[in-house]
Structure 1
């Protein structure tokens, strides 16, 4: 197997682990009926963004990338990060975090849906 192709596949795995941490951490909090963020799913978002940016590099040669799709996914990832900021600020102020918390889950699922369904 081509070493660059193997590296790309490993990056896809890391990207999926980041999604699992983000969405799994969110789902665990939602199942407990807690609308607070945790370091676990904030870390997952960071892993997703970094690995996604690395996957946007066209390697090995001949890989076709849809940069419009990647840009949409990056904007959604930054929107998730911004929503984290809203939740954290509201948590510190003792204000409700329900709506932005659910927004994080919806945007995470939307991002995964775009990855799978946009061809």
Structure 2
């Protein structure tokens, strides 16, 4: 395996770890019925976005990328970040956060679903 292919595979691993942190941290809070964000799953989102952007670089040569799919996934990830902002703002104001909290989980699962089920032409 050439070095660029190995680097790409490593970035996929990092991307999956970011997703695991995001959804795992979210699920841990959901099970406890504590509808607040934690550093764990906020970090997961950052790792997911950063590694996803690096994976959008067409390396090694010959890698086919579906930029429409990647764009949709980026928009969903940014929407998750927006929902984080809503939850954090509501936490500070002492207002209910459940709706935005559940939105984070739904969008995270949607993003994974896009990755798995969207097959380009």
Q: Which residue of 1 aligns with 2:31?
A: 31
Q: Which residue of 2 aligns with 1:99?
A: 99
Q: Which residue of 1 aligns with 2:9?
A: 9
Q: Which residue of 1 aligns with 2:78?
A: 78
Number of equivalent positions: 119
Q: Which residue of 1 aligns with 2:108?
A: 108
Deviations 1:12-67 (A, max 9, x none): 00000000000000000001111000000000000000000000000000000000
* TM-score, length of structure 1 as denominator length: 1.00
Q: Which residue of 1 aligns with 2:89?
A: 89
Moved over 2 A (4+): none
Which consecutive unaligned segments of at least 5 residues does structure 2 have? none
Deviations 1:76-108 (A, max 9, x none): 000000000000000000000000000000000
What value does the CA root-mean-square deviation take over the aligned residues? 0.3
**CA distance in structure 1 between the partners assigned to 2:6 and 2:117 by the alignment:** 24
Q: Which residue of 1 aligns with 2:63?
A: 63
**CA distance in structure 2 between the partners assigned to 1:31 and 1:112 by the alignment:** 20
Q: Which residue of 2 aligns with 1:47?
A: 47
